Homo-oligomer: A and B are copies of this chain.
Amino acid sequence: MSLIVQKYGGTSMGSPERIREVARRVERFVKEGHQVVVVVSAMSGETNRLLALAKELNPDPDPRELDVIASTGEQVSIGLLALALHKLGVKAKSCTGFQVRILTDDAYSKARILSIDEENMRRDLATGHVVVVAGFQGIDAKGNITTLGRGGSDTTGVALAAALTADECQIYTDVDGVYTTDPRVCPDARRLDTITFEEMLELASLGSKVLQIRSVEFAGKYKVKLRVLSSFTDVNSTDMGTLITFEEDQNMEQAIISGIAFNRDEAKITVVGVPDRPGVAFAILGPVADANIEVDMIIQNASIEGMTDFSFTVHRNDFKRTMQILESNVKPAIGARAIVGDDKIAKVSLVGIGMRTHAGIASKMFRSLSEERINIQMISTSEIKTSVVVDEKYMELAVRVLHKAFELDKPATEERMKA
């Protein structure tokens, strides 16, 4: 007998018929002899409906009250799923965030989990119940209702799995696992049976929307075995989706490159003619950070005759604001020659844990792109990823070219693994 935490998202819970499907899936695991804790999101559309109501009454709503309102979506879901399980003869009991006692900080709408009291859940599991827990929500030390922010139900699932030292945390979604890249962009994209935690982290942060990044971090921190599966396969399907493993794990299929992530949410900005002296990077990015603008890639080239150019990327929504800050504050202060920007760019990243021990990945990447005459505007590398910025109109082409060049359409073979 295992203890399994399953998480079902809003699409999986989107209608009474879908909820009945979820109940049947849970029932299957119960019948196989497992103890099951289920974490659910609000029915799809519900959270948006509630937030729209709130915004209609107050365009600048207090986050405390937003959380009071938004958290009801999950509360309805737990009750409905418990009823659907009862209908199948499965013992089940619902639990809100405060009933479990999922203690968070008081950062409304983006709270972080501080601790989980697993006693209530253990007691209900011991009496043969499926415990159905509201995702996305918690309670702070003063008894205020908090939410973990969008996608927070994944985090709830992983956190409960960690607190209960569950054997596995299964994240059910509308895709059947993690792919080498987005199949809509590259039809040859292949489903991975396993992926390492670090790769998943890069793929998630770079725009693969399968899992929320915080939940992956959480899983890594607490070594929770995380599995991504589809809630749209047949209830009795033996397909086990993609398992997210940890680096320490041995004997696993290990390709050099696991996938290709991409992102067209960014804009690049270059400060031209920057004097190459200490403190300049801070003089540029300090005012940007003060304005709560997040910076992604940062590149500064070697200087020539005491002058250099300094480039970075920000979210496209922050592009104009960042340009203004640089023009009005930074440019005069450091005596830069010009500020130039471009918000029609895309970032394409090769991700792979094998990359760190294999030379030649970057050069193969650059050669493949150049053969298609795709100009590389910026480059940034880390141990397990290599990212390039290209004109956004070449993004799909770049993804497909790289997917083919690194043979991601083929299962990892001994040969490829050692390539």
Interface set of A (CB-CB < 8 Å, partner B):
16, 19-20, 50, 53-54, 56-58, 61-62, 64-66, 68-69, 71-72, 75-76, 78-80, 82-84, 86-87, 93-94, 96, 98-99, 120, 143-145
Contact = CB atoms under 8 A, between A and B. Distances in A.
A269 B20 CA distance: 45
Contact of A62 (B53, B56, B82): B82
A75 B68 contact: yes
A62 B86 contact: yes
A120 B50 CA distance: 26
A46 to B, nearest CB: 10
A234 to B, nearest CB: 21
A58 B72 contact: no
A65 B85 CA distance: 11
A17 to B, nearest CB: 9
Nearest to A101: B143
A53 B65 contact: no
Contact of A94 (B19, B58, B65, B79): B65
Given A20-B57, A57-B20, A76 B86 contact: no
B75 A58 contact: no
Contacts of A64: 93-94
Contacts of A68: 75, 78-79, 82, 94, 96
Given A16-B53, A16-B56, 11 more contacts: A19-B57, A50-B76, A62-B83, A64-B94, A65-B82, A65-B94, A68-B75, A68-B78, A68-B79, A96-B145, A99-B144
Contacts of A62: 82-83, 86
A313 to B, nearest CB: 36
A84 B65 CA distance: 11
Contacts of A54: 79-80, 83
Contacts of A57: 16, 19-20, 80, 83-84, 87
Contacts of A86: 58, 61-62, 65
A143 B97 CA distance: 12
A54 B80 CA distance: 6
A363 to B, nearest CB: 56
17 contacts: A16-B53, A54-B79, A54-B83, A57-B80, A57-B83, A57-B84, A58-B87, A62-B83, A65-B86, A65-B94, A66-B79, A68-B79, A68-B94, A68-B96, A69-B80, A72-B72, A99-B144
Contacts of A69: 75-76, 79-80
Contacts of A82: 62, 65, 68
A403 B56 CA distance: 47
Contacts of A79: 54, 65-66, 68-69
A12 to B, nearest CB: 15
Nearest to A61: B83
Nearest to A87: B58
A120 B144 CA distance: 12
A66 B80 CA distance: 8
Contacts of A71: 75
Nearest to A78: B68
A144 to B, nearest CB: 8
The 5 closest A-B pairs by CB, nearest first: A69-B79, A72-B72, A58-B83, A68-B79, A65-B79
A100 to B, nearest CB: 10
Nearest to A74: B72
A39 to B, nearest CB: 15
